[in-house]
Amino acid sequence: MTPRTKYWLFLLAIIGITFTVIGLSFTGSWHSLNVTEKDFVSHLVVKLLPFPLLGALVLCLLIGGLVSLLFHFYIIPILKLSEETRLIAKANASYRVPPRGARELKFLAQVINESADSSSRMQQDINEQIARSKAQIKEERNRLAALMSEIPHAVLVCNRDGQILLYNNKAKQLFDAGQRSANDETEQPQGIIGLGRSVFGLLDRNPIAHALELSNRALAHGQTAPISNFMLSHHGGTYLRVNLALVLAEQNEQPSMTGFVLTLEDMTAQITADSRRDSLLRSLTDDLQDALKDIRDSITTILANPQMQLERLQQNRATIDRASQTLELRLQEARKDYTMHLRAQSKVEDIPGESILEVLTRNIKDRFNCQTSFESAPGVWLKLDSYSFVQSLTHLAGLLVNHHHITKFDFRLFAESHYLCLDIRWQPGIEEAAQLDNWRDSPLLSNSRGESFSFASLLERMAGKMNYLPDAGGKGFGGLSIRYAKTTENGAPTIQSQLEHRPISYEFDLFEQRGDAEMAQTPLRKLTFVVFDTETTGLNPSEGDEIIQLGAIRIVNGRILHHETIDQLIDPKRSVPDSSVAIHGIDPALLPGQPTIDKVLPIFHRFAEGAILVAHNAAFDMRFLQLQEKKSGVRFDNPVLDTLLLSSIIHPNLKGHGLDGIAKRFNITIVGRHTALGDSIVTAEVLLKLIPLLEAHGIITLEDALHASEKSAFAKLDY
């Protein structure tokens, strides 16, 4: 009940009581008179009654004025003072109470502000001590993070219910790739990786459950660190090799599982390569056996019949020739297929062109004491086996220095249309290319498995070609040019170029959570939220306005996960009015060609799976989503919280429940206002500030928050 409502109810009650007392007094006096007196008074009542009524009315006005002054100078300021004092204590320690109301209340506000200043100084000292302790803990966590990032495989750490507590960049890349492949309509959409999400939305439950059962059984029989290994198929036709290890804790002097660690390795390329190799060997063996049988039979026949007729001898010779040609052809095909196998097995990497040339020229200069120089176009990346590439060209330089007395090498890397070109020039020139041909085709390197590689095979892996360059006189060879296709349109690496040195995120407090808790009874601090916002063509979803941008961010265990977001423009298939552009600033020219709403909402639906949806003025955004449910094929049945309603509950006497007003009250810096993701981030920060204030009002669980929201005056808004 608002103070204004209380004021009018209080005033009406006073007026009603005043007139009731006057009426009862008159009635009592009337019944105390005899008949003669009543007749006498009845003649006088017309003259006497207006004056008491007028007096009562004046009295009511005086009382009303006094009540109004009481509310204005005392009651309303006291209510605001209590809300602002709680705001200082629970959400924004830098907030100060503005002096208002009677002189005594202004003095009280001054005392509260002085106490807040003193408390802030004490809190600052405490925070400094906490910061030092956190720094030590963070250092330990960073050490763990650094170790995790060095693991060359995807890593997932889960609690006993399968909620993800940690994942590294390799895991994100693996499942993001699977997500992209699942976007094909023929594939079943998979879950999205994220903290607090279930691992069983990413991987099949049965193999993991079986491995956990085996590991727990081994643990019960005294094995200290059981590890299970298994293979499973993944969305998109990939195959993963999985190592599962238990996370243990001591309970009653007995080890007990609190979670598990999954290490995942994509074996698809290796399995495909091994299958191709096995097929190649079987085919080659069968073909060789048939050809050798024909050759052996023909030679045996010739040897057994020295006086064989010429015609029959020619037939056997033709058989031998035909079989030998078949052998030669099959060996060429086998060499080609084996090269493809080695290419699938090889480890290539993306590396800046300038970096590889710097290493190469320094290596040549240090080993052969000759002059080197290099030039690389900016932004050029190479996709290759850098070690083999450097060693091969260094070997070539050694041949040229030792046999042709080359004294200088110049390297130039540049982009040309859809190709990258590396020109290598040397001085002086050489007369023949025979030695270059021999260098190109001869085995130069061997890997750890004893397999040999030539520079020609390295070029083949890069889909490259090599040509010789004439020297200055045009009579010999002064260099060579290597040309191969770019890895991407702009030459940038096809994988993430940012070197990973930390896990993408972790939240070990989730070890203590259980997934089977009733969501309605779960404390707000422990819930997973997806805070979202939309930008639209207008304010009337029921009249045809459409979403043009959707932004969302996740909150897990009281932490905003800035790396788990959605920020997507949407093609509304209609014009965007200038009045809307003036608000959100989105250029309508950016929208054609973007995904339509029926493509975006299923992705957002998976992103918000199992979470509480949160928005500011959520009725507006939810109405847009509800009108698109039929078109997109998804239904949003998540519980919904509205920061507008929650703010009006905890601060009913303060003005400004818009996002800007709340952010200012909570001292939250707004970045990217009126962009979907920017507003989502601000709303997420507002929500985390609101939770302790809600708890102070006794609103602890999700059920409490939903019931309280229904009582807000803003809950009546309809779109």
Task: Give per-residue pLDDT as tens, 546-601.
Answer: 999 999 999 998 889 988 899 999 999 999 999 888 888 888 999 999 999 999 99
Q: Which of 53-57, 357-361, 474-478, 700-704 has the lowest mean pLDDT?
A: 53-57
With contact defined as beta carbons under 8 Å apart, do 511 and 165 qualify? yes
Most confident segment among 19-28, 86-95, 332-341, 566-575 = 566-575
Tell which wins on pLDDT, 43 or 185: 43
The yes-or-no verdict on residue 488 having pLDDT over 50 is no
Rounded Cα–Cα distance for residues 606 and 698 (Å): 32
List, for residues 258-291, the tens digit of each pLDDT value.
Answer: 899 999 988 777 667 666 666 767 777 777 777 7
* Poorest-pLDDT segment among 45-59, 177-191, 473-487: 177-191
Residue 238: helix, strand or coil by DSSP? strand
Count of C-beta atoms within a 10 Å radius of residue 151:
12
pLDDT tens-digit series, residues 305-315: 888 888 888 88
Contacts of 704 (CB under 8 A, 6+ apart): 694, 698
- Residue with the bigger pLDDT between 189 and 381: it is 381
How far is residue 600's CA from residue 532's CA, in Å, rounded to a whole number? 13
- Reported as a pLDDT band with limits 50, 70 and 90, residue 487 is low
- Exposed/middle/buried for 528, CB within 10 Å: 0-12, 13-18, 19+? buried
Q: How far apart are CA 600 and CA 710, in angstroms?
A: 30
Position 251 scores a pLDDT of: 67
Give pLDDT, residue 717: 60
Strand, helix or coil for residue 532:
strand
Mean pLDDT of the chain: 80
Amino acid at 662: I
Residue 702 has pLDDT above 90, yes or no: yes
d(CA 608, CA 683): 16
The confidence band for 492, taking pLDDT boundaries of 50, 70 and 90, is: very low
Q: 401-438, pLDDT tens digit by residue?
A: 888 888 999 999 998 877 889 999 998 888 777 777 87
Buried b (16+ CB within 10 A) or exposed e, 675-714: bbbbbbbbbbbbbbbbbebbbeeebbbbebbbebbeebeb
For 642-659, the pLDDT digits (tens) are 999 999 988 888 888 889
Helices (H), 346-485: 353-368, 386-404, 434-441, 455-461
Whether 584 and 678 have beta carbons less than 8 Å apart is answered as: no
Higher pLDDT, 247 or 251: 247
Residue 469, H or E segment: strand 464-470
At a CB cut-off of 8 Å and minimum separation 6, what does 311 contact? none
Q: So what's the pLDDT on residue 560?
A: 92
> Looking at residue 310, what is its pLDDT?
82
What's the pLDDT at 530?
95
CB 502, CB 145: distance < 8 Å: yes
Residue at 89: amino acid letter = A
* Residue 236 to residue 179: CA distance in whole angstroms: 9
* Residue 526 to residue 688: CA distance in whole angstroms: 11
Q: What are phi and psi of 195, to 5 degrees?
A: -65, 140
Claim: this prediction has a pTM higher than 0.85: no
Whole-number pLDDT of residue 531: 96
Query: By mean pLDDT, which of 190-204, 571-585, 602-616, 647-661 is the weakest?
Result: 190-204
CA distances from 596 to 230, 535, 570, 637, 680 (A): 40, 14, 5, 22, 21
Q: Which two tokens mark 195?
A: 């903290």
CA distance readout (Å), 366 to 372, 402, 445, 466: 10, 15, 20, 26
For the record, the structure tokens of 442 come out as: 């001869």
- Distances in Å between the Cα of 2 and the Cα atoms of 6, 7, 355, 711 are 6, 9, 69, 12
Percent of the chain with pLDDT over 70: 83
E runs forming strands in 96-206 = 154-159, 164-167
Residue 504's pLDDT band (cuts 50, 70, 90)? low
What pLDDT does 224 receive? Answer: 75
Q: Is pLDDT above 70 for 242?
A: yes
The per-residue pLDDT for 337 is 63
- Integer-rounded Cα radius of gyration of the chain: 41
- In this prediction, residue 499 has a pLDDT band, given cuts at 50, 70 and 90, of very low
Burial code (b: 16+ CB inside 10 Å, e: under 16) for 627-654 equals bbeeebebebebbbbbbbbbbbbbbbbb
**pLDDT tens, position by position, 522-541:** 899 989 999 999 999 998 88
